[in-house]
Amino acid sequence: MVLSANELTLGYRGQAVVSNVSFHVAAGDVLAVVGHNGSGKSTLVKTILGTLPLIGGELSWHGGVPSEIAFLGQRSEFDTRVPVRLRDIVEMGAWSRLGFAGRIDPAGRAAIEAAMERTGTAAIADTPLHMLSAGQLQRALFARTIVQDAPVILLDEPFTAIDQSTEADLLALIDQWSGEGRAVIMVLHDLSAVLQHCHAALLLGRGTARFGPLDTTLTPANLVDLAYLTPSQAAWQERMFSRDVDSLSGGGDV
Amino acid sequence: MFEWLEYEFMLRALAATSVLSFSIAPVGAFLVLRRLSLAGEAMAHAIVPGIVIGFVIAGLSVASMIIGGLAAGITVALLTSLLARFTIIREDASLASLYLISLALGIFILSAAGSAVPLKSFLFGSILGMDDETLYLIGATATVTLVSFALILRPLVTSTIDPVFHESRSSRPGLVVHWFMFLVVLNLLGAFKALGTLMAVGLMILPATAARYWVSTLTGYLVLTFLFALASCWAGLVLSFYASEVPSGPAIILVAGAIFFVSVLFAPQGLGFLRRRRPSPR
């Protein structure tokens, strides 16, 4: 177990946004966090990062608070007009280990190059930031996350406005992190194929939370209960889903 | 043609602004990158009453100027964030209101006190004002600024590009930002004698804005910003020497403005009139 949360109450300046949040993450787990706007997803992210104090409950890091949590925020917060190149963004992943004036050693250089190779950005390493597409920038930020080499990785809506091939490449990387025994927590904006790569889900909404395996947590009943879907949307999804299952099982039987 | 080199006050002014360029350039560069140009402008006017009160009480001493200027700057910054947090008015409007009050108060006190310093050189700078104390102030400003940058450059860059990432890995993320704003005020005070309180911020913003049109790397940006600031100061001082009725502040800023417009027209990331036209850039 890496992180467990017991009956958390989260919010700002004593004002609760969501309560009864309990979940746990083990090494190698990929946890999806899902919820409507204002359900407390960002509040949870800040609380895990330690930038926002808990209002109530208990958040325990087993084996100590990790020295580094690799965090990848929403791209709307990112300023691409600063005169730096893609390579500099990836290097930022190594800065916290260097202190004020330390230089990146050859091993660190090699790690940065390898991360750019892995994410398919080595060929555009010297491209200025403002010339990058959304997908290229996200690949660079994943490379930065690799360089951070952290036991816990926290991703806030990493696939919003990203093309499908980039999404597929980056999901393979998340699978790899999971295989390496890193704990990955991923906030998702919509229910998508991304969920296939997750082991558990934390559903936030209406001031409360549900946690568990995907198929028992993201049920139509829960999604309606926690205001993620309206009843008619849930009914439609269920119809589409059962048709899928029917056609699959029908194909298998014949 | 180079007779201005024979005057001591010119040599002092050239030396002072050269050292000043070293420190005001990186501060201005990050002020522009952090989208704080207008906040810097407001801050430059906000510190005026502090300087004036210090001047009226203790005369034209560097210590009184620094204490007064820093006190006024911090007061306005705190009031601005309090008003933005607890009232309906947003930060830009409360800052604008406060700096205007502050500037008016400063000029009012200066005039009412029947100052020995002419208002014109207070507002717009004077080529003749570079006494020993001013040179020490600029030297100290540059030293503090450059040492600070050596220490905070990485977190400053990170928090400029990706503020939430910076917050995620720093135990006191606000520290870098507050230290940077302190450097802004310090450099405005350093620039005040040569450029005047109304023009000082121009040397911070114009070279940095002009340089951004030419470069794509941070090192290149900082170097070019410095060169533009230096060129503006030297050419502006010579201009002010020959047109002796023209205060040095506007002369320096007009040179910086000329560099800015040339950059807008011809630089690759400006309108790019020198570049061969390509299909529309992404």
Provide the CATH number for the domain around residue B235: 1.10.3470.10
Position with higher pLDDT, B201 vs B80: B201
Q: Are A6 and A54 in contact (CB under 8 A)?
A: no
Reported as a single tens digit per residue, the pLDDT across B39-62 is: 899 889 888 888 888 888 877 677
- CA dist A206 and A33 (Å) reads 15
Angstrom CA distances, B275 to B207, B269, B281, stand at 22, 10, 12
Residue B276 within any structural domain of the chain: no
User: Average of pLDDT values for B92-116?
Assistant: 86
Report yes or no: A96 and A84 within 8 Å, Cβ to Cβ. Answer: no
Cα–Cα distances (Å) from A163 to A136, A196, A224, B128, in that order, read 10, 18, 29, 62
Question: Among residues of chain A, what percentage have pLDDT more than 90?
Answer: 69
C-alpha distance from A72 to closest chain B C-alpha (Å): 7
> Between vectors from CA B114 to CA B110 and to CA B119, what angle results, nearest 5°?
50
- Kindly tell me if the per-residue pLDDT of A251 is higher than 50: no
Provide the ipTM: 0.86
Residue B186 scores a pLDDT above 70: yes
Contacts A90 to B, Cβ<8 Å: none
Determine the Cα angle at B145 with ends B142 and B146, to 5°: 85
Phi and psi torsions of A76, nearest 5° = -65, -20
- Quote the minimal CA–CA distance from B140 to chain A in Å: 22
Dump strand ranges (E) for A134-207. Answer: 152-156, 183-187, 200-205
Tell me, what CATH number does A227's domain have?
Answer: 3.40.50.300
Higher pLDDT, B189 or A244: B189
Range of the structural domain that residue A33 is part of? 3-253
Encode pLDDT of A13-59 as tens digits.
Answer: 889 999 999 999 999 999 999 999 999 999 999 999 988 999 999 99
pLDDT at B150 over 70: yes
How many separate domains does chain A show?
1
Structurally, how many domains does chain B consist of?
A: 1
Mean pLDDT of chain B: 88
- DSSP-assigned beta bridge partners for residue A72: A155
> pLDDT at position B196, please?
86
Which of B154, B162, B218 lies nearest to residue A77, judging by beta carbons? B162
Report phi then psi at A38, rounded to 5.
Answer: 80, 10
Which of A71, A98, A101 is nearest residue B168 as measured by Cβ atoms? A71
Among partner residues A69, A83, A101, which is closest to B168 by beta-carbon distance? Answer: A69
Range of the domain at B48: 3-266
Residue B47 lies in a domain: yes
A98 and B151: CB-CB below 8 Å?
no
Task: State how far the Cα of B48 lies from the Cα of B57, in Å rounded to an integer.
Answer: 14
Contact: B33, A81; criterion CB under 8 Å: yes
B281 in any annotated domain: no
Q: CA of B211: which chain A residue's CA is closest? A: A83
CA distance B172 to chain A (A): 9
Question: What is the pTM (predicted TM-score) of this model?
Answer: 0.88
CB contacts of B215 in chain A (<8 Å) are 83
What is the DSSP code string of B22-85?
HHHHHHHHHHHHTT-HHHHHHHHHHTHHHHHHHHHHH-S-HHHHHHHHHHHHHHHHHHHHHHHH
**B163, A77: Cβ pair inside 8 Å?**
yes
